[in-house]
Structure 1
Amino acid sequence: MGRWEPDARERLVRAALDLFCEQGYENTSVAQIAERAGLTKSTYFRHFRDKREVLFGGQDQLLELLTSGIIGAPPSVGPLAAVEAALVAIAVTFTEERLANAPRRQAVIAGTDELRERDALKMAGFARAMKDALRQRGVSELDADVAAELGVLAVRRGFDRWLEDGGDFAEVARRALEEVRVAAAELQGAE
């Protein structure tokens, strides 16, 4: 049996992260990434639209999973329980490979204004997808907005915790959402 070899997409991600860490995001070209991965520039563009997408690839899958998680939640559950179903649905994308690459990926994003902006847009897209899915379930606009924003906060907090401790992202995200829920309730009681 042969030795497992990472697919082209994984090789491109690893090569990009190596180069971004070595010489900076701005100083790295798509051609350099492809060459480091032992692939062609056209192969790069078969997997990613542009240089940023090597760091943000898979967003379409996450949006689909968030939406299907909310829409597929039992009709009897409330908005936050539907958001929890969405967070559980995206857990399949939180793999060991992703965990291994995440610290370097986060460092590259944190060091570049353009990438921080792209990350913020990604989170806004998550909120919009969750809100739209909640609206499809008949949730009022304001309740859908609040639940979606709490869901994004739970994703962020859960992701940070997952980076520190690893484990099952579904459980980490559930705990993060519960903490957000409790904090929101405490804010209401503090007034």
Structure 2
Amino acid sequence: MADLRDRKRQRAREKIVEAAFALFAERGFADVTVTEIAERAEVGRTTFFRYFGDKQEVVFADEQGLLDEMTAHQRSLGMVSTKDVVVALRQLRPTVLALCEAITKDEKHYVVHEQLLERNPELHDRSVGKLQHYTETVEGVLIDRGTPREVAVLAAQLALGCFHAGRRLAGLDPTKLVGEVDAAFERVVGKR
């Protein structure tokens, strides 16, 4: 029974996200209300707020899943402790590239998401904070492996910088993100 309930909750959450992104693509973020999202998703406002604190959070609906996936990926790589920033950054590269692949899997969703961040300063600012949270999580994985804090912090921040650079260079083209981020890493640490 719990399985069925969980599936229903997941479907309701997905319907809210789909409805919100469709409305945002049609009319822009500022011109869409929570009520309209709930109506399009065929759920009540109470259901909307059960899953999301506000309409901004819908834009980042995938965050926890991506964070969990990224952390699991990083832990699965069998990295070793290092005092060398370049080695630590090379260890982070596959995880950042996997994250890029995950966020561009649904190309249409990625484009709408990036346009929302580009056109809405409040969403851009929230995105920066969320990316910093990802970075601190990866930093923690490195530290847990015995990497000195100063190396882990620098490597994680440089990895974030490679992501930002690649993202800017890729623009709104999801097919270019992985390549541009990988090229940014290559410019910093050399070939794989």
In the superposition, the TM-score normalised over structure 1's length comes to 0.73
Q: Distance in 2 between matches of 1:119 and 1:127?
A: 12
Letter paired with 1:93: A
Tell me whether 1:13 sits opposite 2:17 in the alignment.
Answer: yes
Tell me whether 1:57 sits opposite 2:61 in the alignment.
Answer: yes
Q: Per-residue deviation at 1:114?
A: 1.0
Of 120, 126, 148, the residue aligned with 2:134 is 126
The answer as to whether partners of 2:135 and 2:160 remain within 8 angstroms in 1 is: yes
Q: Distance in 2 between matches of 1:158 and 1:56?
A: 20
Tell me whether 1:83 sits opposite 2:88 in the alignment.
Answer: no
> How many residues are paired up?
175
Partner of 2:32: 28
Q: 1:138 to 1:76 in 2, by over 3 A?
A: closer
| Runs of at least 5 residues in structure 1 that lack an aligned partner in the other structure | 1-5, 187-191
The answer as to whether partners of 1:69 and 1:87 remain within 8 angstroms in 2 is: no
Superposition pairs of residues 78-117 of structure 1, within 5 angstroms = 78-87=87-96, 89-90=98-99, 93-94=102-103, 96=105, 98-117=106-125
Which one is further off, 125-134 or 145-154? 145-154
| Runs of at least 5 residues in structure 2 that lack an aligned partner in the other structure | 1-9, 82-86
CA RMSD of aligned residues (A): 3.1
Of 175, 178, 181, the residue aligned with 1:176 is 181
Q: Distance in 2 between matches of 1:34 and 1:112?
A: 21
Q: Per-residue deviation at 1:166?
A: 2.9
Which SS does the other structure have where 1:148 is aligned? helix
Q: Per-residue deviation at 1:140?
A: 1.8
The answer as to whether partners of 2:29 and 2:116 remain within 8 angstroms in 1 is: yes
Q: Distance in 2 between matches of 1:136 and 1:48?
A: 32
Cα distance per residue 1:89-143 (max 9 Å; x no partner): 53673464x3211212221221112111101111111111111111111112222
Partner of 2:84: none
Q: Per-residue deviation at 1:88?
A: 5.1
Cα distance per residue 1:24-62 (max 9 Å; x no partner): 423322111010122222232233232111110121222
Q: Distance in 1 between matches of 2:126 and 2:163?
A: 16
Letter paired with 1:176: V
